């Protein structure tokens, strides 16, 4: 068995699964924070994430999250494609999902009607879910983030490099996290015992509502890159550059990001 095949045999899922879901496709932008996770830049200027890194970080994140009571884990997902995967993840693990708009004060205002005190936070996009990241930071709550090539990792304790805009890639990452966390907790012993199909985590687009190129992760990534470029020109993007450090919560290991 070649070294490449041996490495793949130790992966959580086959490389082909990451590739067919476009999990490795980034945007035409990259940050210094995400440089270590990037494999190459394509001729069409899209950056490509290293699949081996994706798999390794998913394993690390699953092991880290399994250390906490699942009911004390909160996943925040504002963007449409991330909401269904986040809800299914919460349903199967017992974590709490906050989808759509994150109401300010949810983590910081005890008088808020929906006030909660999570032990750890997962965000589907550190940019779109920046309010949750800010409040978690104030409360010294560790943050796990799904991050693409354009994301900054300020205030992120553990990053999972992934295409966090793609419908299929978001379904895959939450599907893998769910399975691996249940294995870590002892609810299931092997992969075959996890019977929920990947499709159950996927946001379904109604027939007739699909846009041209919707199923092509590359075309979708180019569209997202155009949106990022427009936001940069308008100066309306909430993409603050990294700077400053916060002290990690005692007992937590993921400060390497």
Mean local confidence (pLDDT), 158-181:
97
Over the stretch 65-86, which tens digit does the pLDDT of each residue have? Answer: 999 999 999 999 999 999 999 9
Over the stretch 16-60, which tens digit does the pLDDT of each residue have? Answer: 999 999 999 999 999 999 999 999 999 889 999 999 999 999 999
Taking 50 as the threshold, does the pLDDT of residue 241 lie above it? Answer: no
Q: Locate the DSSP E strands across the chain.
A: 38-41, 47-49, 73-77, 96-99, 120-123, 143-147, 158-161
Which tokens in the block code for residue 78?
Answer: 């504002």
**Angle at Cα 63 formed by Cα 58 and Cα 66, nearest 5°?**
120
Please report which confidence band the pLDDT of residue 15 belongs to, taking 50, 70 and 90 as the band edges.
very high
**Closest residue by Cα to residue 149 from 33, 14, 6, 22:** 33
Global pTM value: 0.82
Over the stretch 143-154, which tens digit does the pLDDT of each residue have? Answer: 999 999 999 999
**Sheet of strand 96-99: strand arrangement:** 96-99, 73-77, 120-123, 143-147, 158-161
Taking 70 as the threshold, does the pLDDT of residue 256 lie above it? Answer: no
Over the stretch 121-144, which tens digit does the pLDDT of each residue have? Answer: 999 999 999 999 999 999 999 999
Token look-up 């879910």 returns 129
Q: CA–CA separation, 236 vs 249, rounded Å?
A: 32
Query: In terms of C-beta density within 10 A (0-12 exposed, 13-18 middle, 19 or more buried), how is residue 198 classed?
Result: middle
**Closest residue by Cα to residue 63 from 256, 224, 227, 252:** 252
Mean local confidence (pLDDT), 228-247:
48
Over the stretch 92-129, which tens digit does the pLDDT of each residue have? Answer: 999 999 999 999 999 999 999 999 999 999 999 999 99
**Could you report how far apart the first and last alpha carbons of the chain are, in Å?**
32
Q: CA–CA separation, 132 vs 175, rounded Å?
A: 22
Q: CA–CA separation, 245 vs 250, rounded Å?
A: 15
Taking 80 as the threshold, does the pLDDT of residue 228 lie above it? Answer: no
Over the stretch 184-223, which tens digit does the pLDDT of each residue have? Answer: 999 999 999 999 999 999 998 865 545 544 556 666 666 6
């Amino acid at each position: 068995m070649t070294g490449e095949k041996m490495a793949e045999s130790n992966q959580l899922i086959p490389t082909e699964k990451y590739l067919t879901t476009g999990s490795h496709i980034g945007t035409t932008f990259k940050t210094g924070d995400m440089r270590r996770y990037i494999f190459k830049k394509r001729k069409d200027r899209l950056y490509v994430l290293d699949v081996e890194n994706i798999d390794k970080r998913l394993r690390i994140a699953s092991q880290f999250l399994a250390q906490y009571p699942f009911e004390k884990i909160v996943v925040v997902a504002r963007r449409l494609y991330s909401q269904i995967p986040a809800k299914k993840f919460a349903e199967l693990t017992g974590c709490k999902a906050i989808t759509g708009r994150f109401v300010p004060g949810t983590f910081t205002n005890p008088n808020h009607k929906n006030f909660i005190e999570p032990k750890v936070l997962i965000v589907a996009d550190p940019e779109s879910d920046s309010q949750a990241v800010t409040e978690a930071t104030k409360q010294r709550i560790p943050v796990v983030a799904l991050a693409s090539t354009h994301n900054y990792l300020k205030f992120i304790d553990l990053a999972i490099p992934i295409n966090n805009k793609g419908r299929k890639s978001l379904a895959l990452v939450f599907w893998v996290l769910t399975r691996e966390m249940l294995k870590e907790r002892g609810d299931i012993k092997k992969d075959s015992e996890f019977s929920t199909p990947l499709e159950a985590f996927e946001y379904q687009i109604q027939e007739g509502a699909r846009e041209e190129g919707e199923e092509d992760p590359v075309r979708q990534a180019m569209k997202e890159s155009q949106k990022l470029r427009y936001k940069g020109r308008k100066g309306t993007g909430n993409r603050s550059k990294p700077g400053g450090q916060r002290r990690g919560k005692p007992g937590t290991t993921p400060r390497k990001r």
